[in-house]
Structures are given as structure tokens and as C-alpha cells.
Structure 1
Amino acid sequence: MTSPFDRIRPAATTARQVSDLAVAFGLTIAPGHAADAAVTCVASDNRVARPGDLFVALPGARAHGAQFAADAVGRGATAVLTDARGAELIGSDSTTPVLIADDPRAILGQVAAWVLGNPADELMTFGVTGTNGKTTTTYQLDHLLRALGWRGGLIGTVETRSGDRVVPSILTTPEAADLQALLAAMREDHVRTLAMEVSSHALAQHRVDGVVFGVAGFTNLTQDHLDFHGDFESYFATKADLFTPARARRGVVTVDDAWGERMARAAQIPVATLTTLPDKHADWTVTDVAPSGTGSAFTLTHRDGRTLRTSTSLPGGYNVANAALAVAMVLEGGSDIRDVTEALTAADGLSATVPGRMEVLATAPRVVVDFAHNTEALQLALAALRPTTTGRLAVVFGATGDRDAGKRPFMGAAAVRGADVVYVTDDDPHDEDPAKVRAEVLAGTGTGGTPGRTVEAADDSGSRTVEVHEVAPRADAIRAAILAAGQDDTVLVAGRGHETIQEIAGVDHLLDDRVEARAALAARNAIPQQDGQRQQDPMQERTTQA
């Protein structure tokens, strides 16, 4: 398997000498190897190595990359960068130069940037971090920057764009070598702006080293990825690293919650604050939010008096926050508010389509696919759909295996609080028992862990009865929810969004929630029913008990 980023690499490069690289980064050339060679690009995966590459052999959890150095050299790599252990594994019987660093991962980004001539310096770069909203905000950023006339690039969870070239993404933020090659290709494609998601994993693993963003943005911080970071403090500290001089020049921080306020205080670069709340003071304030089409219109005002009114086509208050953050980041990046206002008017507001983010597939019943995969995101998605649902609100969701098990019961509780019908199913089980994961989600629903029951829930409108079901596999759950829905109901299929592969016990299975939902809608249309009648799906009896 090769990385899709291998398909977006610079066509022309400038050769750099290994001896100059050694001097620039204080590296040792292993004895017994050639002392010099020319390198033109960098690869950290032997499978994508090309002639002229510097292959960076990193220590891994299961194997050391040096074990694959010979394969990379066989594919054309002209030099290797590794640590002392890697040099031992390679041995001294190779004439290929081997450079030794104490921690090659920590310098990989800067090395790749140096080899390729620091391509990020020739782009207007916008980096967005936070638990939820990164993808939507970067799409809105890209939409606005293109509306302003810039040739844009985008890097994120769903896809990567370099001008008119588009490839699907494997990681939210690419590995450092892939990222720098991609930025160099964008330079060749005459891309001028970049909107990019910056994940906490990427910051911790040095993937964005070698990039100093012109403007960094922060959406929010909620429980997620604690299996990787350990606790909230470490998670916060990793996110805060983006707001340091080594990572960005300016920032915009959403301060709607305590974590955002803390981020603004912790920032080591100049930051502008943004709020959507009426009782908070910030540099940028969102007011006069009103329904507009499928989304909302809003006014964004700076404390210095600058103001504009625009809209987002995506529903929910949190999407207003995402859209406002995108606009504020462009303005803080130096764009004139009059130009931004004119561009937004011509573009009909922030109307970018974000795959798998509140994506509406049908209207009767309304079927929406969203990436909400943690407690806060699930709550926000359900709250966004409730006001415009005249019938019942159903949700299909699961929790990911081998990831942050602590959030599972909270997700179950959030589903019961927000929906009228709950279908607990599988997300990506990975190597964990799917039934065990579902049971831990069900534990938070108030059913005593037993599906097929009803529970009482309360919201602002009073108490209501909520149905809780357990249905697996996921395709069956989607089908059951859609066939059981009335014409005025809404079905939210949450957790996977744009994803098309489900991993079960190490095996990848094709699964696209949108494809399954459309198939269920087609089956629904083939079954005669009276207006408003809810259908009984024969497959619903295939419920799997925990």
C-alpha cells in the first residue's frame, strides 16, 4: 500500500548535498559509508521512496525503520537518516551515506523543509486545532480564501487539495516528510493559501515541524484521544503548543468555554479572542444569529468597530462558531473587512459542502450523516437538529474500539438526552470485541445495559420516553432506523461521516454510512406505506444482544 500523498510530490527539485545537511543539523555520518550524496526529497516510508530521496528510518512500536532501509535504497533512496540503533541495524556493508541523529523524528520536519527549500514560507498558512470542528472550519477557510481570489490548498481529515488536484487523506495531518513534499508540490501548482487541520497527534509527533503558520485557530477542547495523551492536562498542553512562536505568528482562539479562555491566556503569540456568547467579552463577537436556509445568518463584530454580516449553510450554533472562526482568521491574517464582506456576499456566505459533516441525504424522513464521534460532538449535533425536527429524532452511533473507553457511557447518556430513538451499533471496533464496546455505551443509557427498552429522559420541553436499541452490524442499524422513521422524523447517523473503511479485528471492510443510508432509503421507497406511517423492517429482528 502506498500513501496517497505520494501522488502529490514536487515534479522538480533542487539537489542538496548530504554533507551540507550534516553540517546544518549537526549530524554524524556513520563510518564505513560514503561521505556524500545528493538528495532531492525525503521519505519516511520505504514503500514510497523514490530515486534521490533521503530515507528517514525511525524507531517504531513494532519494528525499526532501519530494517527497511535496504528496500528504500533499492527503490532509489540515495541516503539514510536514522538513530544509533538504526545505524547498527543497517551495518557497514552499504556504500549509501547513513546520517545519525539522537532523535531523527524530532528533526524530520525541519530536515524535509530544508531539503525542499522551506516551501511553507511561500504560502499564506492557516492551521486549525481543537477537538471538534477542525474539518468544517478548514473547509470554510478554503471556501472564503478562494472567494477572495486566492488559489488554495487544503489538508485535513477528508481530503487533500493542491489547486485543482485532490486526493483522499489517510491521516488528519500527514507525516512530516509527506507534508513537506505536498507543500513543495503546492508551490509548483502556484497555490497561495493553505487551510490545514492540525491534530494533537501531529503536534506531539512533530508532523508539522518546519511549518510556522501565519494564523492558528482554536475551536474547543472536549474529551477525546485521552488514550494517547493520558489526561486532559497533557491533551491541552499539546494543543497549546500550536500557539507558540515555533508554530505560528498569530492566533484566533474561541473562548466560549473555560478551555478556550485558558488557551488564550497560555498563548505565547499575539491572539485575538472570539465568542458566540452574549455575556462574554472578546475581540470578535458573534451576535444576531438567525435562521437562514438550512443554517444561520450572523453578525461578526470586532471591538474596534469593524463588522460584517454573513451566513453559514450548516445547521447548529457550533457551526456558527466554526464559520465565525474561519472569517476571523482570514481577517486576522490581514484581509480587509470590505473585501471579505464583498467576497462572502458573492459566494452566498460560507456555503462550502463538507463531506460527512451534517450532510443531508434526504428530507422525508430527513437523514443526516455526521462525523460526531465523541460526547460533546454528539450532543451538539442532536441539539442542532432538534429545533427543526417536527417528528421524532433518532440517532445511530457507536464508539471506536481501542480508543478512550472512558467516554463510551457518556456518549450513551448524551444520545438518550438528545434523541427519541437510540440505535447503539458499531463504529470501528479495531481489535476490541464489538459487543463489549456496545455494552459500555449501553451502560450510559439508563437501560441497565439491556437494549430493546425505553427510558425516561428530560429536556427543556419536559420529560419524554426514549427507545433504546442495539443493532449490529452497522449497516443493519442504519437500515432499521431509516425504515422505522416517519416522514417527519430525522435520523442522524453519527460517528464516521466521510469514512469508507471499517476496521474489524485487523481486517478492512468497505462501509460508507452515506451509501448504506441511500440503500435504506431506496428500500424504504420500495415498500408501500401510508403517509406518516412508520415501517417495520424485517431485519430489525436481527438485533444483537450484548
Structure 2
Amino acid sequence: MVASAQEGADAQSMRPSRPVSHTVEDLARLTGAQLVPAASGAAAAVTGVVLNSREVQPGDLYAALPGAQVHGARFAADAAAAGAVAVLTDPDGARALAAARVDLPVLVSTEPRCWVGPVAAAVYDSHPAAGAGQGLFAVTGTNGKTTTTYFITSILRALGHTTGLIGTIEILAGDTPVPSRLTTPEAPHVHSLLALMRERGITVTAMEVSSHALEFHRVDGVHYDVAGFTNLTQDHLDLHGSMAEYFAAKAQLFTRERTRRAVVVLSDEDPWSVAMARHARENLGVGNVSTVALRGSDSASCGDGAADWTLRSLTRKGIGTSFVLQHTDGRELRVHTGLPGEFNVANAALAVLMVLDSGVAVETLQRALDEHDPLTTSVPGRMQLVGTAPTSLVDFAHNPDALVRALRSVDPQDEHGRVIVVFGATGQRDTTKRPVMGRVAAEEADIVIITDDDPHAEDPAPIREQVAAGAREAVANGARATDVLVIEPRATAIRTAVRMARPEDSIIVAGRGHETAQDFNGVSVPLDDRVELRDALAALHSQTKEQK
């Protein structure tokens, strides 16, 4: 497995220029792993950590971990040829290395994945305490992680910080993108990025932390200043098996080992939020956890007394909302977001309170909110406005709860306006949510157009029909929708929605957001919902002008 030039360049671009050299003996003491010296007695300084043999640079420790199908030890010889100077693996991997006569020092641990993060933290010197200060924010939850991290960085820029962002859409060091084809950074990438950002003068970094990242130890060795919780709704049950296990994965973030403080959004509609607030208080201490209720009734649901903050005076302004955050001690923050929907109000409130809990004074924060309107920042593919007349948006909503929230947020104020939704379901993921999403669409939209998302290795036709079955059943039971259409390919479905729309209608294309290609059984087919929607609207408006 020889690295391509692009993969090597991507990996190198994510590294700091000044890693901290460690001997294998240093790393053996850190991990408690058994050190098996190289047969030749060779030893060299470790200056990097990788999980992928194609990313190896000279001086790297290669973590050869067991995989779902292939053990990483199989590629240790490739790693050695590329310049790796040591291997971290399990006993099975050590035996495979010995059999293959890979002559490198080997660190043998029964739980090697658990040590990749701490080793990377040491080598890349990524912990803020090791150098200049660097504030770290983490956001977890089913929906809203991306938008909340963008909101956090926008507020902090208004406060004068140079910010970093590690998320599903992009990785940013200030305004500069960090090239990467890695959609979910692994532990070595996380630590090298944090060190790289500090090296580039980044003072604060906000990061999305998914259940996958926690479950697979991708953020081990990282300690955050403030962690935020958005919500927990059905998703990723193909990985976790149950909502209780999904909750347990998220809850790992709210412990002393991972964060100093926490902010939790409370909602009557999300019973898991109460459980998360209780878990955070038990682990971090009551004084280190803030809660915010989306409405007055949510405050009582906390069970441990009133929520610390409550949303008041919600007023719609254009497609956005102005509101007041009120603390039980009487403090208030006036907030405005230009993004539509109550869920973006929740995201904005969470971002504001996370910044406040990082140590910013209320008066300073209020001045930044008033003077810069930072919560009207554009988030690619998240309730992104593409056109008007009809109001047309693209959103990443890809589970039932997110779809409900998105559809309700675009309901036209004009009594004659209709909601038209275009969406699908992903292949090789939680199949139980497919008919649920169909039902939700039929209950919240007037015209439902079901198409393909990313089928992956599944036949796309049955996926579409499973979604459609839920929509048709809902219509039979009196749901709002008057039409349920199944149309592929996706570009045709988007054009059909635009042709059906009237100026007073709203169109939302949901499920893929910022993504620019569909995966059909390993074949990447270029498609950007925003481009397709924009082109279809341009054609519609051109035709309308010609008719006039």
C-alpha cells in the first residue's frame, strides 16, 4: 500500500513543523506496553503517528490496529518501507510482524487503539498546557453540531480571536482551509491539527465530536474547556444498537477526563437531554454545568430544579429570530440569528452560552453580539438559502428529527404557500428510520418527492420504496401531503420540485447538504444539491421572464 502523492501531501499538510521527538522507551513507559526491540537493535526517534500506512512519513510510529476485515499489521512492511521507525499493535499484530520479519521496535498492548490518542498528544505536543494557551470547544449531539461550531467560531472572531474549526464540512485554520480528504479525523490527525493550529497562531478551536469519534477513541487525549450538548434523536443505531447505547457513547464527553465545563440544551421533546444534564452534573460537578431551556415548560423537566437559562421573547425577523436568554439570577443576553428555524435558535443559544462559560464577561459578549451579528453567519449546506420566489433551501437533515425541524422552519407565512421536500435515505445505515422519514415528510410537507441519497452498496430502488411506504401510509391516515412522488436521479427530482413550485411556496432539498458527490456502489457520481437547485431556479426565472 504505497501512498499516492495526494494522500501524502494531505497528511503532511495536517502536521505541525515542530513535533516533539520521543524514544520508543518513552512511549512504552507512557502506554505501559511491552516493548519488543528490533532484531537488528535499530532504534530511532518517533516524530509522528499514523493509523494508515499510506500516510507514513520518515520517523513515524505506525499504529497497526485490528480492523473489521484486515489487521493493520498486514501493511507494516509498507509502513517500514515508507520510513516508519516503530509499530504499536496488539499481540496478534505482533505475531504477524514477527512472521513477516518486519524489523522495527514494537509496542505491544492489549488495547492499542486506546493509546493512539495519548501517544499522538505526546508526539505532537497538542495539549494547550504544553505551550501557548489554546481554548478548545467540543459540540456533540445528533443534530446541530456543525452549525453550533460555526456559531462559536463566529462569536469568537467577533471577540478578536483567531479561530480554528474541525468539522464534517471543512477544517479551517483562521480563514485558511487545511487540505484533507479525511471526513472524520482519527486521533493522530486530531492531535496534529491542534498542534498545527497553535503553531499558526490559532487561539481558539471549535470541534464537532460525534458518537463515532468517542466510540472509536478518535478524541482520546484531548481535554476541552467547554463541551456542549445539542440533542439526542434516532440515528446511528446501525452502530450503537439502541438509544441507550447511543446516549452512553455521547455521555463519554461529559466527564472530567474530557472537559472542564459543559452546557446542555433541555427540551421536553428530548428526554435524553435531562439524562445528559444529570450525567454531566454527577461527573463534572453542579457548578461546572449550565443548562438552557428552550421554553419555560422545559425548565421543569430538568428534575434537579429550574434550568439556569431560559429563552424568552422569541420574535421572528425575516427568516431569522431574535430572542432573549435569561438567567435565574436575572442576567440577560439579547441574541439574534439570521438562520431559520427553532432548532437554529437552540444552536445559537448553545453557542452563546458555551462562549460565556469559557470565561467571557456578559457585557463583553453582549457588545460582540450587538455590533457584529455573528449568528447570521452562513453555514454551507445547513439551511442554506439558495433562492427566493420560491424560497429554496438546502439542508443536511438526514434523520427524522432533523427533517421535522427543517420542514417546520420553512413553512410559508403566506396561507397559500406550500412546502415541497426532496430527500432520500442513505444505504447501509439504520434501515428503521426510512419509513419514519417518509411519514415525517408526509406530515410536514404538501408535496413529497423521494429520490436517492447515497445508496452505497445497496440497490437504491428498495431504499426509495421503503421511504415511500412510510409516506403513503401517512397520507392514507390523513397526513398533510397531497402528492408523494418517487423520482430518480436526484437532479431530475430537484428540477421537478422547482417546476411544481409557485412563488409563494418553499422548497427544501434535504439529506446531503454540502456534499458534492453521490456514492453508488463505490462509484462517485458528481452532484451538488445547491448547484442543481440554483440552476433549476435560474431556468425557471428565465422561462418566467420570457413568458412575460
On the 8 A contact 1:40/1:52 being kept in 2, the answer is: yes
Deviation at 1:171, TM superposition (A): 5.6
Structure 2 residue aligned with 1:61: 68
SS in 1 for 2:57: coil
Partners of 1:402 and 1:106 in 2: CA distance: 27
Mapping of residues 323-362 of structure 1, within 5 Å: 323-362=348-387
One-letter amino acid of the structure 2 residue matched with residue 158 of structure 1? I
SS in 2 for 1:404: coil
On the 8 A contact 1:129/1:217 being kept in 2, the answer is: yes
Deviation at 1:96, TM superposition (A): 2.1
Partners of 2:378 and 2:256 in 1: CA distance: 33
Mapping of residues 249-268 of structure 1, within 5 Å: 249-256=260-267, 257-267=270-280, 268=283
Partners of 2:426 and 2:183 in 1: CA distance: 17
SS in 2 for 1:245: coil
**Greater Cα offset, 298-307 or 119-128:** 119-128
Q: Give the alignment partner of residue 200 of structure 1, picking from 211, 223, 227.
A: 211
Mapping of residues 8-87 of structure 1, within 5 Å: 8-33=14-39, 34=41, 36-87=43-94
Structure 1 residue aligned with 2:110: 102
One-letter amino acid of the structure 2 residue matched with residue 436 of structure 1? P
**Greater Cα offset, 419-428 or 30-39:** 30-39
On the 8 A contact 1:173/1:199 being kept in 2, the answer is: no
Partners of 1:397 and 1:142 in 2: CA distance: 30
- Confirm or deny that 1:518 pairs with 2:529: no
Structure 1 residue aligned with 2:97: 90
Closer, same or farther: CA 228–313 of 1 in aligned 2, 3 Å: same
Q: Give the alignment partner of residue 326 of structure 2, picking from 294, 298, 301.
A: 301
One-letter amino acid of the structure 1 residue matched with residue 30 of structure 2? A
**Greater Cα offset, 348-357 or 114-123:** 114-123
One-letter amino acid of the structure 1 residue matched with residue 273 of structure 2? G
On the 8 A contact 1:365/1:489 being kept in 2, the answer is: yes
On the 8 A contact 1:19/1:36 being kept in 2, the answer is: no
Q: Give the alignment partner of residue 508 of structure 1, picking from 524, 527, 531.
A: 524
On the 8 A contact 1:47/1:72 being kept in 2, the answer is: yes
Deviation at 1:285, TM superposition (A): 1.1
Closer, same or farther: CA 323–171 of 1 in aligned 2, 3 Å: farther
- Percent identity among equivalent residues? 51
Deviation at 1:531, TM superposition (A): 8.5
Partners of 2:401 and 2:215 in 1: CA distance: 23
Unpaired segments ≥5 residues, structure 1: 449-453, 459-463, 533-546
On the 8 A contact 1:252/1:271 being kept in 2, the answer is: yes
On the 8 A contact 2:322/2:336 being kept in 1, the answer is: yes
Structure 2 residue aligned with 1:483: 499
Structure 2 residue aligned with 1:536: none
Mapping of residues 363-378 of structure 1, within 5 Å: 363-378=388-403
Partners of 2:428 and 2:438 in 1: CA distance: 17
Q: Give the alignment partner of residue 443 of structure 2, picking from 409, 417, 433.
A: 417
Partners of 1:392 and 1:499 in 2: CA distance: 26
Structure 2 residue aligned with 1:164: 175
Deviation at 1:168, TM superposition (A): 6.2
Partners of 1:272 and 1:35 in 2: CA distance: 53
SS in 1 for 2:482: strand
On the 8 A contact 1:253/1:260 being kept in 2, the answer is: yes
- Confirm or deny that 1:494 pairs with 2:510: yes
Structure 1 residue aligned with 2:296: 278
Closer, same or farther: CA 16–197 of 1 in aligned 2, 3 Å: same
One-letter amino acid of the structure 1 residue matched with residue 432 of structure 2? G
Deviation at 1:170, TM superposition (A): 5.2
* Alignment size in residue pairs: 522
Deviation at 1:9, TM superposition (A): 1.1
One-letter amino acid of the structure 2 residue matched with residue 435 of structure 1? A
Structure 2 residue aligned with 1:535: none
Structure 1 residue aligned with 2:188: 177
Q: Give the alignment partner of residue 444 of structure 1, picking from 450, 464, 470.
A: 470
Deviation at 1:523, TM superposition (A): 2.6
On the 8 A contact 1:412/1:444 being kept in 2, the answer is: yes
Closer, same or farther: CA 143–169 of 1 in aligned 2, 3 Å: farther
Deviation at 1:371, TM superposition (A): 0.3
On the 8 A contact 2:16/2:124 being kept in 1, the answer is: no
* RMSD of equivalent CA atoms: 1.9
On the 8 A contact 1:215/1:333 being kept in 2, the answer is: yes
One-letter amino acid of the structure 2 residue matched with residue 476 of structure 1? T
SS in 2 for 1:236: helix
Partners of 2:395 and 2:38 in 1: CA distance: 56
Partners of 1:379 and 1:501 in 2: CA distance: 25
Deviation at 1:36, TM superposition (A): 3.1
Residues 90-148 of structure 1 show CA distances to partners (whole Å, capped at 9, x for unaligned) of: 22634322211111111110111011224344421110000000000000001011111
On the 8 A contact 1:264/1:273 being kept in 2, the answer is: yes
On the 8 A contact 2:396/2:512 being kept in 1, the answer is: yes
On the 8 A contact 2:412/2:418 being kept in 1, the answer is: no
On the 8 A contact 2:443/2:481 being kept in 1, the answer is: no
Partners of 1:285 and 1:170 in 2: CA distance: 40
Partners of 2:256 and 2:48 in 1: CA distance: 26
One-letter amino acid of the structure 2 residue matched with residue 231 of structure 1? S
Closer, same or farther: CA 63–296 of 1 in aligned 2, 3 Å: same
On the 8 A contact 2:154/2:374 being kept in 1, the answer is: no
Partners of 2:11 and 2:350 in 1: CA distance: 28
One-letter amino acid of the structure 2 residue matched with residue 521 of structure 1? L
Partners of 1:135 and 1:531 in 2: CA distance: 42
Larger helix fraction of residues:
2
One-letter amino acid of the structure 1 residue matched with residue 105 of structure 2? P
Deviation at 1:53, TM superposition (A): 1.2
**Greater Cα offset, 386-395 or 368-377:** 386-395
Partners of 1:191 and 1:32 in 2: CA distance: 39
On the 8 A contact 1:156/1:169 being kept in 2, the answer is: no
**Greater Cα offset, 309-318 or 159-168:** 159-168
Partners of 2:367 and 2:218 in 1: CA distance: 36
Partners of 1:94 and 1:434 in 2: CA distance: 44
Structure 2 residue aligned with 1:461: none
Deviation at 1:52, TM superposition (A): 1.4
Partners of 1:361 and 1:189 in 2: CA distance: 34
One-letter amino acid of the structure 2 residue matched with residue 174 of structure 1? P
One-letter amino acid of the structure 1 residue matched with residue 71 of structure 2? H
Closer, same or farther: CA 39–285 of 1 in aligned 2, 3 Å: same
Structure 1 residue aligned with 2:314: 289
Partners of 2:34 and 2:42 in 1: CA distance: 10
Deviation at 1:500, TM superposition (A): 1.0
Deviation at 1:169, TM superposition (A): 6.0
